[in-house]
Amino acid sequence: MNIAIALGGKDLTSTVPDTFAEANYLIIFDIDRKAVIEMIDGENLQDKALVFAKKAAAADCEAIICGPIEKEPFLIIADEAMITRYNGVGMTGNDAIATMEKDALPYIKDYIGGEGCVGHH
């Protein structure tokens, strides 16, 4: 199973920033093999949040660990690719993966400024 992790730095010892847009790198990680498949450097990309969202979708990720997400990338991640979103703000990539595997990371239910999951109680 592939997951995406939005981080401030180049490896899994880096932390998840406060928002998805603040991430400088997106790591595609194979949970089953415990291996990094791809690392996307967003430091010089324009609209990196959109690029990251599209990369996570193209990599067939089942989950993404990040901070709160802006509307346009959220719609790609949640509505188009149906990727489960986990909030790992302030955690290292390694700690966030371990916490996600224990089902202990909170979900990101809507984009920044959205109304939340309506009708799902």
> What would the pLDDT profile of 70-97 be if each residue is shown by its tens digit?
999 999 999 999 999 999 999 999 999 9
Nearest 5°: the CA angle 41, 44, 98 is 30
Over pLDDT 90: what percentage of the chain? 91
Q: What is the CATH number of the domain that holds 21?
A: 3.30.420.130
Residue 107 lies in a domain: no
- Going by the DSSP 8-state scheme, the letter that residue 67 receives in this structure is S
pLDDT surpasses 80 at 119: no
Closest to 65 in 3D by CA, of 88, 44, 49: 88
Other Cβ atoms less than 10 A from the Cβ of 94: the count is 14
Residue 71 lies in a domain: yes
Residue 86 lies in a domain: yes
Structurally, the chain folds into a number of domains equal to 1
The parent domain of residue 59 ranges over 2-101
CA 79 to chain centre: 14
Residue 34 lies in a domain: yes
User: pTM for this structure?
Assistant: 0.94
pLDDT in tens, 36-50: 999 999 989 999 999
Residue 25 lies in a domain: yes
Residue 40 lies in a domain: yes
CA 81 to chain centre: 12
